[in-house]
């Protein structure tokens, strides 16, 4: 399944959550609970993935499971649609796309920040303020260490990379010297 396909389900589900004024955090927790059940039960996965079992039978199993889980009807309906459209095997990808959609709607951007050394808290805070201004959004950071960049910072937001590393500067200088 392409991520564009998962994104369509995710956008539609996010629209439902927003239009019904549902608690997005509570919905996310229920989704997490369902995914934990999904991951924890090979029997459930094989049943839902089995083409010999009809969609109606699978949805009946979902409803029986839901009596224990207490999923909100909107989440239950999303899972039922995935079952009906034979896409339940992609439930984790749809969940990830839904979470990304929510973050985007809340003005939150994921940023991967790579540094050559561990940053103290005050430097992280200052860096996050700058990255937030650069992205024009609140940043949800993931920090990584990579000593090979020698110093400075490399920031990836979506498909855009801001390379302020010493290694990056040296590579750009090399290109200028070779070309000139």
| 1: pLDDT strictly greater than 80 | no
Q: What is the Cα–Cα distance from 166 to 168, expressed in whole angstroms?
A: 5
Which of the 8 DSSP states describes residue 21? T
Q: In terms of Cα–Cα distance, which of 50, 48, 44, 76 is closest to 63?
A: 76
Task: List strands edge to edge, sheet with 108-115.
Answer: 138-145, 108-115, 152-157, 160-165
Q: What is the pTM of this model?
A: 0.69
Which parts of 22-171 are beta strand (E)?
Answer: 108-115, 138-145, 152-157, 160-165
| Domain 3-104 CATH assignment equals 1.10.520 | yes
pLDDT of residue 110: 87
Q: What is the Cα–Cα distance from 128 to 111, expressed in whole angstroms?
A: 9
Q: Are 139 and 106 in contact (CB under 8 A)?
A: no
Q: Domain coordinates of the chain in residue numbers?
A: 3-104, 107-179
Q: In terms of Cα–Cα distance, which of 109, 175, 104, 113 is closest to 143?
A: 113
Query: Which pLDDT tens digit goes with each residue over 80-137?
Result: 999 999 999 999 999 999 998 998 888 888 899 999 999 999 999 999 999 999 888 8
pLDDT of residue 3: 73
Q: What is the Cα–Cα distance from 50 to 82, expressed in whole angstroms?
A: 14
Query: Which pLDDT tens digit goes with each residue over 128-171?
Result: 999 999 888 888 899 999 999 988 899 998 888 989 888 888 88
Record the tokens describing residue 100, joined without a space.
Answer: 């990304």
Question: Average pLDDT for residues 77-82, to the nearest whole number?
Answer: 97
Record the tokens describing residue 16, joined without a space.
Answer: 């439902």
In which band, very low, low, confident or very high, does the pLDDT at 4 lie, cut at 50, 70 and 90?
confident
| Pairing of β 138-145 and β 152-157 | unpaired
| 180: pLDDT strictly greater than 80 | no
Question: Average pLDDT for residues 48-77, to the nearest whole number?
Answer: 96
Record the tokens describing residue 164, joined without a space.
Answer: 């302020």
Q: What is the Cα–Cα distance from 85 to 130, expressed in whole angstroms?
A: 44
Query: Which pLDDT tens digit goes with each residue over 19-62?
Result: 999 999 999 999 999 999 999 999 999 999 999 999 999 999 99
In which band, very low, low, confident or very high, does the pLDDT at 2 lie, cut at 50, 70 and 90?
low
pLDDT of residue 94: 96
């Amino acid at each position: 399944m392409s991520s564009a396909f998962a994104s369509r389900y995710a956008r539609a589900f996010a629209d439902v959550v927003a239009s019904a004024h549902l608690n997005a955090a509570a919905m996310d927790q229920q989704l997490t609970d369902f995914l934990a059940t999904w991951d924890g039960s090979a029997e459930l996965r094989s049943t839902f993935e089995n083409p010999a079992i009809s969609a109606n039978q699978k949805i009946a199993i979902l409803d029986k499971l839901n009596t224990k889980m207490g999923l909100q009807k909107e989440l239950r309906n999303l899972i039922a649609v995935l079952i009906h459209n034979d896409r339940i095997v992609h439930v984790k990808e749809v969940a990830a796309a839904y979470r990304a959609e929510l973050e985007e709607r809340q003005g939150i951007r994921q940023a991967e920040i790579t540094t050559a050394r561990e940053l103290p808290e005050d430097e992280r805070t200052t860096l996050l303020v700058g990255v937030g201004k650069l992205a024009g959004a609140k940043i949800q950071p993931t920090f990584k260490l990579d000593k090979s960049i020698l110093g400075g910072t490399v920031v990836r937001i979506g498909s855009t990379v801001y390379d302020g590393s010493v290694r990056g500067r040296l590579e750009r200088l090399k290109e200028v010297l070779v070309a000139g």
